Chains A and B, each alone.
Chain A
């Protein structure tokens, strides 16, 4: 029981970070204090929506896992965390990555922060899946 709460807690914290980093903590280019996107297209906005979507999915899966308290829900949560980590990593580095110049806000703050959270999610989800799947 405690294990489910722990896993859901970690997911919610990491999912929350995925939501907060690109919008508030270390915002991508063109995102102001009023949380509105400035006009004009920035390459980093794909990563912004990738991280936002991943964050929302993690929050929902965390809630579902705590509500149902079943093995299937825990497995779905861990698989979702792994997938969310991969989406975050890929969208903030290669597909399509951030803006071209290293001086842009997205390259200086958002990208390293999302990469760290993405790696943490992949490790958490991967190790968790391996451990839960081993048990009968």
Chain B
């Protein structure tokens, strides 16, 4: 029999028993969907953390004492805290002998419950254009864009374009540029020059439904670049010295952010990973049982095939082809749903897990699919080997007689 004939027989066998075939496909789809989802989220989290950290561009971040966790929340989920550094603390940080450059940022949240398409519930980040070394480099190709009093920059994922107008706390503003993606909540933030932000705060008492309570000189975070001498020292030691020199502050080492975010990612994926570890072997067992049952129910057909001249090898090949085909269908379904789900709902998932997500490249996704497909084919071949070998060893007359005895 030609290979095409064997494939055709395997296909017909699969569609004639929709329940067994459906079980096999479902088992493979569930196992690979879970596995693919965990791997995709893990890779998206790693990629997001690396991208976010690379975009920060500072060695240290200085925040008010006790607000380190709030900083993570600000960077990932746009949450803000009322605590700020005062002008004296900001000045002391900038004046430290360990520090080469500093730039202050002040966080606020836009009003929620506004009417359609107003800029509601987004993070407003006040930055200092004359000292900034963080935000401007994200303006692809145009880092020297001049900002007028009404101009703001916006994150890549906010849905606004250059020239768009928006209103914050009653003040009309214009989008002067869209920043490169960072995978952090900064992608859905509005970056307002500090002078403009303070002017907005002053005017908000009359123009907005709720006043914005900020004053000049305050900062939510001071981003720090160390001097070459300090950069050669252990960074934890430098952080400790800075905390000692400036009372009431907490220093976050930028590279530690990665560790903290990775811990969050692992914690968020722990439950899903456990389920995956349980479901994988269970799906393989269920698949093997469904396949064994399918072969058992087809003994007469396969015996008839032998009686009509098919070799034992042909019969075994039909069983193996059916198993592999159904497994590949299941893998395609499972990985397809997982990929689509993660891609479509990545913003919701990132918020729920409190980690930045950046979808892996198409090449990585293709590798994941190929690896998943290969693993499923191997598992299907192993699971189908026993019934395929057993049925191919039986003489045609035996299989037909067994059926005859049972029916008479």
Task: Give A contacts to B, CB under 8 Å.
Answer: 26, 29, 40-43, 99-104, 107-109, 112-113, 115-116
Are A41 and B115 neighbours in the complex by a CB distance under 8 Å?
yes
Q: Considering the complex, give the chain B residue whose CB is closest to the CB of A38.
A: B113
- Give B342-359 interface residues, CB cut-off 8 Å to A: 344-345, 347-348, 351
Chain B residues within 8 Å of A40, by CB: 115-116
The answer, yes or no, to whether B121 is at the interface (CB within 8 Å) is yes
Task: Give the secondary structure class of B's interface.
Answer: loop
Which of B115, B120, B345, B347 lies in contact with A102, CB distance below 8 A?
B347
Which of A26, A104, A115 lies in contact with B120, CB distance below 8 A?
A104
Q: Considering the complex, give the chain B residue whose CB is closest to the CB of A41.
A: B116
Q: Considering the complex, give the chain B residue whose CB is closest to the CB of A119.
A: B340
The answer, yes or no, to whether B366 is at the interface (CB within 8 Å) is no
Are A103 and B160 neighbours in the complex by a CB distance under 8 Å?
no
Chain B residues within 8 Å of A102, by CB: 157-159, 188, 347
Residue among A101, A102, A109, A116 facing the most chain B CB atoms (10 A cut-off) = A101
Alpha-carbon separation in the docked complex, A41 to B78 (Å): 25
Alpha-carbon separation in the docked complex, A26 to B347 (Å): 13
Given A102-B157, A102-B158, decide whether A113 and B344 contact each other with a Cβ distance below 8 A. yes
The answer, yes or no, to whether B117 is at the interface (CB within 8 Å) is yes
Task: List 10 additional A-B contacts (Cβ < 8 Å) besides A100-B159, A101-B159, A101-B160.
Answer: A26-B348, A40-B116, A42-B116, A42-B117, A43-B117, A100-B117, A101-B122, A102-B188, A103-B120, A108-B348
Nearest CB on A from B121, distance (A): 6
Nearest CB on B from A116, distance (A): 6
Which 9 residue pairs across A and B have the least CB separation, nearest first? A112-B344, A100-B117, A102-B159, A40-B115, A42-B116, A108-B347, A103-B188, A101-B159, A99-B117
Given A41-B116, A42-B116, A43-B117, decide whether A100 and B344 contact each other with a Cβ distance below 8 A. no
Q: Considering the complex, give the chain B residue whose CB is closest to the CB of A112.
A: B344
Sample (5) of A-B pairs whose CB atoms are under 8 Å apart: A26-B348, A29-B116, A43-B117, A100-B117, A103-B120
Residue among A42, A100, A107, A116 facing the most chain B CB atoms (10 A cut-off) = A100
Q: Considering the complex, give the chain A residue whose CB is closest to the CB of B118.
A: A101
Chain B residues within 8 Å of A113, by CB: 344-345
The answer, yes or no, to whether B84 is at the interface (CB within 8 Å) is no
The answer, yes or no, to whether B119 is at the interface (CB within 8 Å) is yes
Alpha-carbon separation in the docked complex, A26 to B344 (Å): 13
Chain B residues within 8 Å of A103, by CB: 78, 120-122, 158-159, 188
Alpha-carbon separation in the docked complex, A68 to B344 (Å): 38
Which of B115, B159, B344, B351 lies in contact with A115, CB distance below 8 A?
B344
Nearest CB on A from B93, distance (A): 31
Q: Considering the complex, give the chain A residue whose CB is closest to the CB of B351.
A: A108
Are B116 and A43 neighbours in the complex by a CB distance under 8 Å?
yes
Which of B115, B158, B351 lies in contact with A101, CB distance below 8 A?
B158
Task: Give B contacts to A, CB under 8 Å.
Answer: 78, 115-117, 119-122, 157-160, 188, 340, 344-345, 347-348, 351
Chain A residues within 8 Å of B115, by CB: 40-41
Are B160 and A112 neighbours in the complex by a CB distance under 8 Å?
no
Alpha-carbon separation in the docked complex, A102 to B351 (Å): 13
Chain A residues within 8 Å of B119, by CB: 101
Are B340 and A116 neighbours in the complex by a CB distance under 8 Å?
yes
Are B159 and A109 neighbours in the complex by a CB distance under 8 Å?
no
Which of A99, A108, A112, A116 lies in contact with B116, CB distance below 8 A?
A99
Are A112 and B120 neighbours in the complex by a CB distance under 8 Å?
no
Chain A residues within 8 Å of B157, by CB: 102
Alpha-carbon separation in the docked complex, A95 to B227 (Å): 55
Alpha-carbon separation in the docked complex, A43 to B401 (Å): 71
Nearest CB on A from B272, distance (A): 19
Are A109 and B348 neighbours in the complex by a CB distance under 8 Å?
yes
Chain A residues within 8 Å of B158, by CB: 101-103
Chain B residues within 8 Å of A26, by CB: 348
Chain A residues within 8 Å of B345, by CB: 109, 112-113
Alpha-carbon separation in the docked complex, A84 to B159 (Å): 27
Chain B residues within 8 Å of A101, by CB: 117, 119-120, 122, 158-160
Chain B residues within 8 Å of A99, by CB: 116-117
Are B159 and A107 neighbours in the complex by a CB distance under 8 Å?
yes
Residue among B115, B117, B120 facing the most chain A CB atoms (10 A cut-off) = B117
Q: Considering the complex, give the chain B residue whose CB is closest to the CB of A26.
A: B348
Alpha-carbon separation in the docked complex, A99 to B345 (Å): 17
Chain B residues within 8 Å of A41, by CB: 115-116
